[in-house]
Amino acid sequence: MFPEILSPAIVDLLIEATRQTLYMVAISGLVGTLIGLPLGVFLATSRSGELFAAPWLNHTLGLVVNAARSTPFIILVVAIIPFTRLIAGTSIGTNAAIVPLTVAAAPFIARLIEAAIREVDQGLVEAARAMGASPLQIVRKVLLPEALPSITLALTLAVVSLLGYSAMVGAVGGGGLGDLGIRFGYQRFMPEVMAAVVIVLIVLVQGVQSVGDLLARRLDKRNRG
Amino acid sequence: MNAPLSILPPPPASAGAAGAIHPVTDTAAVIRFEGVEKTFPARSGSGAVSALTDVNLAVPEGAIVGVIGRSGAGKSTLIRLVNGLERPTAGRIVVDGTDITALSERGLRQARRSIGMIFQHFNLLARRTAFENVALPLEIAGIPAREIKSRVEPLLDLVGLADKRDRYPAELSGGQKQRVGIARALATRPRVLLSDEATSALDPETTNQILALLRKVNAELKLTVLLITHEMAVIKAVADRVAVLDGGRIVEDGSTFDIFARPQHPTTRSFLSALTGSTLPPHLADRLKPAHTPGAEAVVRIVFTGTHATDPVLSRVSRLLSIDINIIQAQVDDIAGQPFGVIVVSLPGDAATVAGVTNAIARLGLASEVIGYVS
C-alpha cells in the first residue's frame, strides 16, 4: 500500500522513525516505571496514619511531582538540557531524548500508580495487618497484586501518552515519527508523509491500548461467574 | 420502650455502675481488658472522641464471648484493641499472658499470628483463589510452600469448601466467602479468634450456618472466641457469656442465660425486646398506662427459667387466687442450652390482686414484672 504512494526512501525513513519512536517509548516507559512505581507506592502509603507514615516527605514529593507534571513537555525538554547532557553525554539525538521523556513519565506514572493503589480496599490492609504482615509484606502481597489490573491500565495510559510526547522530541534531534511528520509532512509540504505518520501512530496507540485492556481483563478476577 | 416498672430483683451491690464486672478467675482468662480507655484525638472540625471508658472484661479460655452494642457504641474499637490494630489510651489488654499494649510493632506482628480475625465484609483478596487466600497468613509467617499446602487443605475441608479450592472470591456466595475467611483466620493455628460482625452481611440462614461453624471450631480446636455484634440473635445462638456495650462502657455482663433471664440495663432490655417477646403488640402498647385506673387490667410479664420453665405456673396461680388470667403473648426458647420462656398476661388490675399474683409467682421461684395497665 505505502510503496505506491510513498517513495522507497520515504518508506525507509518511516520505518526508521517508527523504530526510533518505539525505542524511545520503550526505554523511557521502562525507566519511568522503575522510578514511578516505587514513588507511586510511597505516595499512596505515606500520609499520616498509613503504612509508611511520613507526611512531610509525602508532601514534599507530592510538590515535586506536581511541579514536574505542570511543566509543559516542550519546556521541560529544553529546561533540563544540562541534566540530559550529564546523563546521556549529549543533548542531541534519540538517546538524549529519552532523558526528558523519562523525567516526564516518572511523575505521571507515580500519580497513576498512587491512584491504583489507593483503590485497594482498606479492609484488605487491615486483614493483612491482623495476620501479622509487615508494611513491606502488605505492599508485596496485598497492595501490588490487588492493584495489578489497575496498574496495567495505568501503564497502558502512560505508554500512549509517551507516544504523544515522543512526537515533540524532534526539538532536540530525537527523531521519531513526530519529527518525521513535522519535517517532511509539514515543512516540505508532503501531506502523504503526514498521513502515513498519523496512521502509524494510530495503529501503535490502538495496539498498545488493546493489549493493555486485554491484559487487565485477564488479571481482574472481580467479575467472574 | 415503655418505662419498665421493674420488680425484678435489684442488681447486685454496686453493679450497674460503670465497669461493674465480676471477672472470671483471672488465670483462666485468655483475653483480659483491664481499665481500658480509648480516646481518638481531636481532628479538624471535631473534638476528641472518647470511644471506650473504663472497660474491664475477661474472656475465659475456650469460651465464646459476645460483645453487643449499637453502632457507635465502641465495639469495633474494642475488638481491634485485642490484636493491636488500635492502641488504648490507658489500661492494659492481656492476651494469652502477653500484655499486648506493651509490645513493639515487631512484637505485635508476632503476637497477631496467634490471634485470628474474621470480618463483616470478609476482606478476601480478589486476585487469590480460596486456597491462596487461606495460604496468605502462612506465606506471611514465612512457612515453606510444601507445608502450606499440607496445612491449607485440611482447613478447607474443615470449613466445607474443599471443592471450591480454586475458586476466586467473586465466584463464591457470602457464606462461602466467610468460610474462607474463617479458614484463613485459623491457618496460623491461633488460640484466639476475633469475629468482627462476621455475620452482619449474611442472610439469616447463612448466619446460622456460619455461627454453627464457629461453635464447631470453638469445640474442636479449643479456640477462644471474642465476637462483636449488634444482633441479640447471634449472642443467643453462640455466646456463653455476653457483655453489653453502651456509650463506650460495659453496662452489663454475665452468662448469656443470666442476661437473658434478668436483664438489668435499659440497653440490654432494648436489645432483648426484639427477641424475647417483651415488645407488646402495638394495639396494646398504645393503650398501656403506667398507673392503675379503676377497672383496668394489669399487664404482667413472667419470665420462666431453669427448672421452672416447664411448670404449669399460670393454672396454679389462677386456682390459688381464683382469678382469670388472660395470655397475651407467650414464647418459649432455648438459650445457652437451657429452656427459657416469656409470657405476658393480663389480670384484674387492683393492687391486692397484683400483689397476690406477683407474690405467688415469686414463691414459685419465677420473676415477674408489671409493665402497665390497660382499661
What is the CATH classification number for the domain harbouring B238?
3.40.50.300
Residues B103 and B229 in one domain: yes
**In the beta sheet, which residues pair with residue B372?**
B299
Residues B196 and B88 occupy one common structural domain: yes
- CB–CB of B179/B132 below 8 Å? no
Q: What mean pLDDT is predicted for residues B262-288?
A: 77
Residues B214 and B239 both lie in one domain: yes
The residue out of B245, B274, B303 marking a domain boundary is: B274
Residue B309 resides in a domain: yes
Q: pLDDT at residue B13 above 50?
A: no
Q: Hey, which residues does B65 pair with through a beta bridge?
A: B226, B241
**Counted domains in chain B:** 2
Residue B12 has pLDDT above 70, yes or no: no
Interface probe, candidates A117, A131, A143, chain B, greatest B C-beta count within 10 A: A131
Residues of B in contact with A150 (CB under 8 A): none
Q: Which domain covers residue B288, as residue numbers?
A: 278-374
**Which amino acid would we find at residue A149?**
P
Judging contacts by C-beta atoms under 8 Å, the chain B residues touching residue A139 are: none
In a domain, B4, yes or no: no
Residue B171 within a domain: no
Which residue type does B179 have? R
Angle between helices B145-158 and B130-140 in degrees, nearest 10: 130
C-alpha cell at position B268? 440490654
Residue B70: closest CA among B237, B278, B270, B313: B270
pLDDT of residue B324: 86
The structural architecture, per CATH, of the domain A22-175 is Orthogonal Bundle (1.10)
Nearest to B129 by CA among B79, B175, B188, B180: B180
Least confident stretch, A33-37, A94-98, B20-24 = B20-24
The reply to whether B347 and B215 lie within a common domain is: no
Are B267 and B309 in the same domain?
Answer: no
Integer Cα distance of B275 and B217 in angstroms = 26
Question: To 5 degrees, how large is the angle CA A178–CA A182–CA A184?
Answer: 115
Asked if the model's pLDDT at residue B14 lies above 80, the reply is no
Contacts of residue B144, Cβ cutoff 8 Å, sequence gap at least 6: none
CA dist B31 and A39 (Å) reads: 41
Closest CA to B39 of B88, B72, B93, B100: B88
Q: What is the reported pLDDT for B279? A: 65
> Averaged over B53-63, what is the pLDDT?
95
Q: Least CB-CB distance to A130: which of B83, B141, B169?
A: B83
pLDDT given at position B163 = 95
Of A108, A74, A81, A79, the C-alpha closest to A96 is A81
- Which tens digits make up the pLDDT trace of B233-255? 999 999 999 999 999 999 999 99
- Helix intervals (H) in chain B: 75-82, 105-112, 130-140, 145-158, 174-186, 204-220, 232-238, 256-261, 266-276, 282-285, 313-321, 351-363
Is the same domain home to B227 and B296? no
What pLDDT shows up at residue B370? 85
In this structure, the answer to whether residues B202 and B220 fall within a common structural domain is: yes
CA distance, residue A122 to nearest chain B CA (Å): 9
pLDDT of residue B300 exceeding 60, the answer is yes
CATH value at residue B311: 3.30.70.260
Decide which of B274, B306, B324 is a domain's last residue: B274
State residue B310's pLDDT score.
Answer: 66
Q: From the list A137, A142, A219, which residue is nearest B125 (CB)?
A: A142
Residue B67 has pLDDT above 90, yes or no: yes
Which pLDDT score, from 0 to 100, does residue B304 have?
A: 80
Partner-chain contact B127 A146, CB within 8 Å: yes
Across residues B32-43, what is the average pLDDT?
91
B226 CB neighbours in chain A (<8 A) are: none
| Single residue among B236, B253, B274 that ends a domain in this structure | B274
Q: Does B24 touch chain A (CB under 8 A)?
A: no
Q: Are B320 and B222 within one domain?
A: no
Nearest chain B residue to A124, by CA: B123
Shared domain for B41 and B88, answered yes or no, is yes
Q: Mean of the per-residue pLDDT values for chain B? A: 86
Please give the residue that has the higher pLDDT: either B295 or B166: B166
B270 and B319 share a domain?
Answer: no
Q: Are residues B229 and B316 in the same domain?
A: no
Evaluate if residue B34 carries a pLDDT over 70: yes
Mean pLDDT in residue range B183-202: 95
Residues B207 and B353 in one domain: no
Contact status, residue B300 vs residue B357, Cβ threshold 8 Å: yes
Which residues of A lie closer than 8 Å to B, measured between beta carbons? Answer: 121, 123-124, 126-134, 137, 141-142, 145-146, 148-149, 219-225
Nearest CA in chain A to B119: A127
Classify residue B248: in a domain, yes or no: yes
Expressed in angstroms, the distance from the first to the final Cα of chain B is 20
Q: Are strands B338-348 and B326-335 parallel, antiparallel or unpaired?
A: antiparallel
Angstrom distance (rounded) from CA A191 to CA A182: 10
State pLDDT tens for residues A117-174: 999 999 999 999 999 999 999 999 999 999 999 999 999 999 999 999 998 887 678 8
Q: Is B123 on the interface with A (CB under 8 A)?
A: yes
- CB contact under 8 Å between A132 and B125, yes or no, is no
In angstroms, what separates the C-alpha of A217 from chain B's closest C-alpha? 12
**What pLDDT score does B314 carry?**
83
Q: Does residue A25 register a pLDDT over 70?
A: yes
